[in-house]
């Protein structure tokens, strides 16, 4: 007998894709109160120091094994010792508050301040404050840190999970987790994604429904949790899990395999924004790096990165990717995007003036004339690293060929200076990003001066549709398969072809299966996606029939809207097993 009555489905926010089903381990967190006893300032200082040391020790233990967790734990250790927190707590103690209230109030102020920042990175740090506060609180109350020991394949359900909790989840046994708190950009969500563990966050009512030991299903792609699935549901989930496992096996077989689409090599490369991503790309066997975002080197710091620092990073990026793909020549190129500062990415040390419309302001290449020294340093570092690695640069926010002149001039100048100083240098191709509609329209003229073009669909969509890429209410205007976008892609490919210049796509759309097929059908020869998607996209494009894809892509150019385009591609996609 199927007992349908016990099955409950709770909706939350999709935090990390995938499906998991297993008996549930419910993690409860007790409220901890600090008893007033002894000199509160000294007690706080000792607790903060010891918590910092414990977090550092945990970070060392974790190393690089658990995705980004090690880095987050190190950042939390610094936060525990941060005078900003100590000052706030002490001020409240001086005003006569209890240690319990002063800790809650001081940490609360810091958390609210960070949460209100118009900066995703800083806003995410607010959750760190919460985790650090809870840890100091437990230390002061003499309550041991909770330990989560899984003894069999399990799904974990909790009100909240800290970074320290996630590193305890045995990767062999954890099948997924869900929490009542948190958003898709919270640390636990990011860590879950980097570990490939299905996760759902922000599930209200989860704790009152969860039963320890009962079976739960985490659907991290759709953002749902099914508690006590009925037999029929469990059987369906089992089938989906088996299909997923088969797909993963098939994808693993594609590691390092070259995709030939319509007789032409189609490189599936990875995006990167740091050394960790480079390692993931090499592990996935990506055909090189199609977009190395270098802004992270410039943001949140007091001074610009030096030539040596950049040289070391670019050189190891090139070498690591090549080591991951030893049997290939041109397919381990790393395309370094010159700094794309401005818009939503301010660099504190530059003290740039406020702009009314930062996305339409002095960002990307438009900033280079007034920051020529930064460009010189970056291009010198690339030229030196290119002596031992296959590197190219590509320039963001190009509107036309004139935007490449300064980059070319500075690269030549720096190469000459380095050679005169006895340095080894290598050849560096210069490409242009196509993310301003003018660049797509003028692609022929641009291609005359560029070694390759790379379409940045994130910005090209926002500028074509005049819809801020971060504005959730404009989602209906942000679909990159809108025929307006596809026509601009076609213009870019056709324009570039007049000079024999290849065109890639490096925006998020490259990892959207529908868009990826359309790009292949329009003659794009490189797709750059997150490392985790490299082999999925490879399997989809390899499974499709090129003639059919080309015909659908051509028809899509004349569709009325994005929805119609998706409907056209759906039958093709179904045949690829996506
Ligand atoms: C893009 O705009 O599509 C792109 C790849 O650049 P970013 O997302 O870094 O602006
Ligand atoms: Mg962009």
State pLDDT tens for residues 265-295.
999 999 998 888 898 899 889 999 999 999 8
Q: Hey, which of 507, 509, 530 would you mutate to test ligand 1's pocket, going by the most ligand atoms within 8 Å of its Cβ?
A: 507
Least confident of 21-35, 216-230, 381-395: 21-35
Per the annotation, the verdict on 489 as an active-site residue is no
Can you tell me the distance from the alpha carbon of 578 to that of 570, in angstroms, rounded to the nearest whole number? Answer: 10
Question: Which pLDDT score is estimated for 296?
Answer: 83
Asked whether the predicted pLDDT for residue 303 surpasses 60, the reply is: yes
- Of the pLDDT bands very low, low, confident and very high (cuts 50, 70, 90), residue 567 is very high
Looking at the structure, give the CATH architecture of the domain made up of residues 262-576. Answer: Alpha-Beta Barrel (3.20)
The pair of structure tokens assigned to 72 is: 């987050």
Q: Does residue 459's CB lie within 6 angstroms of at least one atom of ligand 1? A: yes
CATH 3.20.20.60 positions along the chain are 262-576
Can you tell me the distance from the alpha carbon of 290 to that of 394, in angstroms, rounded to the nearest whole number? Answer: 10
Least confident of 303-307, 555-559, 563-567: 303-307
Check if the beta carbon of residue 475 is closer than 8 Å to that of residue 507: no
Can you tell me the distance from the alpha carbon of 422 to that of 411, in angstroms, rounded to the nearest whole number? Answer: 17
Q: What are phi and psi of 279, to 5 degrees?
A: -65, -40
Residues 6+ apart with CB under 8 A from 313: 275, 297
- Name 272's bridge partners: 292
Asked whether the predicted pLDDT for residue 425 surpasses 90, the reply is: yes
Please identify which residue in the block is written with the tokens 């945990």.
Answer: 58
Atom 3 of ligand 1: nearest residue by CA position: 456
Count H helices and E strands in the chain, helices first: 21, 17
Q: What is the pLDDT of residues 465-483, one digit of tens each?
A: 999 887 878 888 999 999 9
Q: Does residue 319's CB lie within 6 angstroms of at least one atom of ligand 1? A: no
Burial of 5 (0-12, 13-18, 19+ CB in 10 A): exposed
The Cβ of residue 419 has, within 10 Å, a number of other Cβ atoms equal to 12
Question: Which pLDDT score is estimated for 281?
Answer: 92
Question: Which pLDDT score is estimated for 2?
Answer: 47
Per the annotation, the verdict on 506 as an active-site residue is yes
Residue tagged active-site, from 139, 449, 482, 506? 506
Nearest ligand for residue 507 CA: 1
- Of the pLDDT bands very low, low, confident and very high (cuts 50, 70, 90), residue 67 is low
Give all strands (DSSP E) within 385-523, no chain letters: 391-395, 429-434, 453-455, 503-505
Angle between helices 457-465 and 483-497 (to 10 degrees): 120
Looking at the structure, give the CATH architecture of the domain made up of residues 8-29+147-249. Answer: 3-Layer(bba) Sandwich (3.50)
Residues above pLDDT 70, as percent of the chain = 96
Asked whether the predicted pLDDT for residue 168 surpasses 90, the reply is: no
Distances (CA, A) of 215 to 19, 147, 170, 358, 451: 13, 21, 18, 49, 55
Angle between helices 372-385 and 402-420 (to 10 degrees): 60
Distance 437 CA to ligand 1 centre (A): 14
Least confident of 201-205, 319-323, 324-328, 413-417: 324-328
Q: Does residue 377's CB lie within 6 angstroms of at least one atom of ligand 1? A: no
Q: Does residue 510's CB lie within 6 angstroms of at least one atom of ligand 1? A: no
Residues 6+ apart with CB under 8 A from 384: 307, 311, 315, 418, 423, 424, 425
Q: Of 558, 289, 561, 554, nearest to 572 (Cα)?
A: 554
Q: Does residue 337's CB lie within 6 angstroms of at least one atom of ligand 1? A: no
Report the run of H or E that residue 179 belongs to, with start and end: strand 174-179
Q: Considering Cα of 230, then 234, then 235, then 240, what sign does the dihedral take? A: positive
The pair of structure tokens assigned to 305 is: 């990165």
Report the run of H or E that residue 132 belongs to, with start and end: helix 120-141
Distance 459 CA to ligand 1 centre (A): 6
Q: What number is the average pLDDT over the span 488-496?
A: 98
CATH 3.50.30.10 positions along the chain are 8-29+147-249
| 40-141: CATH topology | Enzyme I; Chain A, domain 2 (1.10.274)
Q: Hey, which of 340, 360, 397, 434 would you mutate to test ligand 1's pocket, going by the most ligand atoms within 8 Å of its Cβ?
A: 340
Question: Mean pLDDT for the chain?
Answer: 91
CATH 1.10.274.10 positions along the chain are 40-141
pTM of the model: 0.71
Please identify which residue in the block is written with the tokens 């009100």.
Answer: 159
Check residue 328 and report its DSSP letter: -
Residue tagged active-site, from 139, 159, 187, 476? 187
Can you tell me the distance from the alpha carbon of 453 to that of 575, in angstroms, rounded to the nearest whole number? Answer: 31
Distance of CA 42 to the CA centre of its chain: 41
């Amino acid at each position: 007998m199927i007992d349908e009555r016990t099955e409950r489905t709770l909706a939350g926010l999709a935090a990390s894709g995938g499906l998991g089903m297993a008996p549930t381990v419910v993690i409860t967190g007790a409220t901890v109160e600090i008893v007033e006893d002894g000199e509160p300032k000294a007690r706080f200082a000792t607790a903060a120091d010891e918590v910092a040391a414990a977090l550092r020790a945990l970070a060392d233990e974790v190393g690089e094994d658990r995705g980004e967790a090690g880095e987050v734990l190190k950042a939390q250790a610094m936060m525990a010792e941060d005078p900003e927190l100590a000052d706030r707590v002490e001020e409240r103690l001086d005003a006569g508050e209890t240690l319990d209230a002063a800790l809650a109030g001081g940490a609360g102020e810091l958390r609210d301040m960070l949460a209100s920042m118009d900066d995703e990175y800083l806003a995410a740090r607010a959750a760190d404050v919460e985790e650090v506060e809870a840890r100091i609180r437990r230390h002061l109350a003499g309550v041991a840190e909770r330990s989560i020991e899984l003894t069999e394949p399990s799904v974990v359900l909790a009100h909240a999970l800290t970074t320290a909790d996630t590193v305890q989840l045995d990767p062999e046994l954890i099948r997924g987790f869900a929490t009542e708190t948190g958003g898709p950009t919270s640390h636990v969500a990011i860590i879950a994604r980097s570990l490939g563990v299905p996760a759902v966050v922000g599930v209200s009512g989860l704790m009152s429904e969860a039963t320890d030991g009962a079976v739960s299903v985490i659907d991290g792609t759709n953002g749902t949790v099914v508690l006590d699935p009925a037999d029929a549901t469990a059987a369906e989930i089992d089938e989906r899990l088996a299909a997923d496992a088969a797909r993963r096996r098939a994808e693993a077989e594609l590691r390092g395999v070259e995709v030939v689409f319509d007789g032409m090599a189609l490189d599936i490369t990875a995006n990167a924004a740091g050394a960790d991503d480079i390692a993931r790309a090499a592990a996935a066997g990506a055909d090189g790096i199609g977009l190395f975002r270098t802004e992270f080197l410039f943001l949140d710091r007091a001074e610009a990165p030096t030539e040596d620092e950049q040289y070391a990073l670019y050189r190891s990026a090139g070498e690591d990717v090549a080591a991951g793909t030893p049997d290939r020549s041109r397919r381990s190129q790393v395309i370094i995007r010159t700094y794309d500062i401005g818009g939503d990415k301010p660099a504190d040390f530059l003290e740039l003036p406020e702009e009314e419309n930062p996305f339409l302001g002095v960002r990307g290449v438009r900033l280079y004339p007034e920051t020529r020294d930064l460009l010189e340093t970056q291009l010198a570092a690339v030229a030196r690293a290119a002596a031992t690695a296959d590197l190219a640069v590509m320039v963001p926010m190009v509107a036309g060929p004139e935007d490449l002149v300064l980059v070319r001039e500075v690269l030549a100048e720096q190469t000459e200076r380095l050679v005169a100083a006895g340095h080894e240098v290598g050849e560096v191709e210069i490409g242009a990003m196509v993310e301003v509609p003018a660049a797509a329209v003028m692609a022929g003229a641009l291609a005359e001066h560029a070694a390759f073009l790379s379409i940045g669909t994130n910005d090209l969509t926002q500028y074509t549709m005049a819809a801020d890429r971060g504005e959730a209410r404009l989602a209906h205007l942000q679909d990159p398969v809108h025929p307006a976008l596809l026509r601009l892609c076609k213009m870019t490919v056709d324009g570039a072809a007049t000079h024999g210049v290849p065109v890639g796509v490096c925006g998020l759309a490259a990892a959207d299966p529908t868009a990826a097929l359309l790009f292949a059908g329009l003659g794009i020869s490189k797709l750059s996606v997150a490392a985790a998607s490299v082999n999925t996209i490879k399997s989809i494009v390899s499974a499709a029939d090129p003639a059919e894809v080309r015909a659908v892509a051509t028809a899509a150019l004349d569709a009325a809207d994005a929805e119609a385009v998706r409907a056209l591609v759906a039958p093709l996609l179904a045949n690829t097993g996506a």
